Amino acid sequence: MKTTYRRIEAVSKTCQIIDVLAMQNGPITGPDIARVMDIALGTVMCHLVTLEDAGFVQQIGGSYQLGMKLSVYWARRKSNLESEIVQKQQDLDSISITGSN
């Protein structure tokens, strides 16, 4: 039996805000984000200050851009994937060495 879970609207809005920030060439204001998303400025600002507190967003003057925390997560993920590749290559190498004897 498949369980269906409901979506959390606040998390969806947060993801949309991150998407908007990621598509920009530079910092963008809260009012501009609200316009792009067609949602209330107060809602956008609540999300932005929460994201800023968590390190996902950085305020530059009166505008916002993605913070470094997402980069740290990506670097960690990339490092883990590279480690997996090295391990799998070593496994393959040991199989081919064992198989050729």
pLDDT in tens, 67-89: 999 889 889 999 999 999 989 88
**Prediction pTM value:** 0.76
Cβ burial, residue 20 (10 Å; 0-12/13-18/19+): middle
Cβ atoms 57, 21 nearer than 8 A: yes
Residue 66 φ/ψ, nearest 5 degrees:
-60, 140
Share of the chain above pLDDT 70, in %: 95
Residue 61 CB-half CA count within 13 A: 5
Do β-strands 57-60 and 63-66 pair in parallel, antiparallel, or remain unpaired?
A: antiparallel
Within 1-101, strands assigned E span: 28-29, 57-60, 63-66
